[in-house]
Structure formats: C-alpha cells, structure tokens
Amino acid sequence: MTATNTKGIVLISLLLLTVGFNAAHAAEWQVTRTFQIGFQALDEVSGISRSQRFDDVFWMHNDSGDQARLFAMNREGEILFPKFLPFHGQKAVKGRRPWQGHRIDLAAHYDWEDIATDVDWIYVADTGNNGNARRDLGIYKIPDFEPGSIEKTRVIDYYPIRYPDQESFPATRWHFDSEALFIDGRYAYLLTKHRVAGRIDRFEAGSNLYRLDLEAKPREALLTKVDSSKTLFMVTAAELSPDGQRLAVLGARRLSVFLRPPVGDAWLQQPVESMDLEVSEVGQVEAVTWIDNGTLWVTSEAGRVFELAPPSSPP
C-alpha cells in the first residue's frame, strides 16, 4: 500500500471513529485533540506508554520486523532524542542523519506488541504469536531513562514465559497470541488475542488474562491464568491508569474501561465504559496509554493519535 493511500485511510478512519463513538454514547465520550506523529522511522506503532519517571515522555516501539529500539515523544508529538549528537535530527537534511531511535542492547525484536512502565522500568512484551507456535516468548525489562541524555541502553532482565494451558506448538486452539501488557505492582499481565486454529486471518471472540510474578524466586516462567472474557475481540493493547484504579483494554471493535476488582485480579468481569470501534471503519488501532486518570491516547499503526476522555472521567 502506498503512503498516500495509507494517509487517506487514516484520515477517513478518524472521521468514522468520531461518528462511531458519538452514536454509542451521544457525545459523552470527548475528543480533545488529535495529531499525526509523522516520524519516518516510527512507521508502524505497536505500543505506547507514558513514562512514570519523567514528565511529558511517552515511550513507543514499532511492530515486528524492526530493530530492538524505542522512541520517545512528548505530548505535542515531538520526537525526543539527545541534542548533543551532532549528526542526528528529526528530518533528513544535508549533513544530518535522521534519528534512528534509542538502541536497546541485549534484546531481539521478533514481534514486540506492547509496552508498559512503572516508576523505574520499561517493560516490552515480545509476545506476538500469530501462528501460535513460538516457544521463545518473553518480556524485556529496561531502565526508564531521560531520552534527551542517553543514546542507548541495555536490557536489565528478561522473563521467558509460557502458557500453562498450551500443550502443543502450534496449539490446538489458537488462543496464545498476546498483544496487550500492563503492570500492576510486582505483577505483569498479558491479555490474549484469539484466532480460528490454522487461520491467521480469521479471529474469534474472547480473551484470557494471565499473570506473571516479576519478583518470583527462583525464576518461574509459567504464567497464571486469572480471568477470561467471552466478549473482548482482537485485543491489541492494555494499560492501567496512573492511580491504578482503571484498566483500558483496546480491541479492534471496542475500547473498554474496567474498574479495579474489589479483591483479586479478575479485571475483565464488568466494563464501566466502552466505546464502539467498528473494525471496518477504524482500521489498525494498536496502542493505548493514559495521559492522566481521566484521559487516554489511542494510536494507530500509521501514527494517528486520538485523545479520548470516557464519560466517567474524573473532573
């Protein structure tokens, strides 16, 4: 597909998205601002997460096929990088090479699907598993760093993971592809995206929620299944709000917001707000993050950013 066609589809998607959620909630959902990232090297956004350590920093990465690298952006959509580097810029001009992102050493980018943060760390989920046959799934742990001061960093830890209910590779049921990661205290959570077995292009409704103890000793790579949903569809991203009270789950057809359960971690039982996203209208929506406790960013692979406020957002 040409760049022109892609831009056209994204612009149409924005208009149809606006119509879709107005119909669903009669203008209760609010869009405050949108913009196009428009940075050449960040050409297939698959994950975004707000830094909890540095103000006005959002971490992003590309989908499968890219290098092991991260990009930083501020709320205005400007790419952040060390200005002391003499031969880098945001655009290709004579005598300057465009910024290529923050290199992450000791990491491999097989199929990075989502990113999450806590107060000290960045977590990247290399958990894309379209054919449900991978045996090298895992989560990278990277120091959160000031993007204007550091050119590259390295992985501090790596959590290889496996699903407790997958017995064959490829699986009998294709329910072991995850594109959604969020962090809650000492635990990492993954939500799955389901396909018809043997058909990468055909999807099934439903998602399972798995938990990983990041502090387990000795290291235990086995995930724990803690919840499931029969209605979530093609889940592509998730993130916990800064106060830890609401979970946003992005799917191809719906953005859902769940309240923290009174006990335990069965997050998926009852959404408090949802916005319909008709899959044929929106296109490839891949990433979600909270700006604050009442505002979300949703991004498409093509770099279009939507700023959304659910009806029950705090004042």
Domain boundaries, the chain: 3-309
What is the pLDDT at residue 271?
Answer: 81
List Cα–Cα distances, 55 to 47, 50, 102, 281, 292, in angstroms: 19, 9, 18, 34, 12
Q: How far is residue 97's CA from residue 209's CA, in Å, rounded to a whole number?
A: 42
Sheet of 157-160, strands arranged across: 114-117, 121-126, 138-143, 157-160
Give the pLDDT of residue 283: 53
What does the pLDDT read at residue 2? 36
pLDDT (0 to 100) of residue 90: 61
Token duo for residue 204: 């099934």
Nearest to 129 by CA among 173, 187, 67: 173
pLDDT tens digits along 120-161: 999 999 999 999 999 999 999 999 999 999 999 999 999 999
User: The pTM is what?
Assistant: 0.88
Computed from CA positions of residues 36, 37, 39, 40, in that sequence, does the dihedral angle turn out positive or negative? negative
Mean pLDDT for the chain?
Answer: 86
3-state secondary structure of 77: coil
Pairing assessment for the beta strands 285-292 and 271-276 based on DSSP bridges: unpaired
Selecting from 2.120.10, 1.20.272, 1.10.10, 3.90.1310, what CATH number does the domain 3-309 have?
2.120.10
Q: Which residues of the chain have pLDDT under 50?
A: 1-27, 279-282
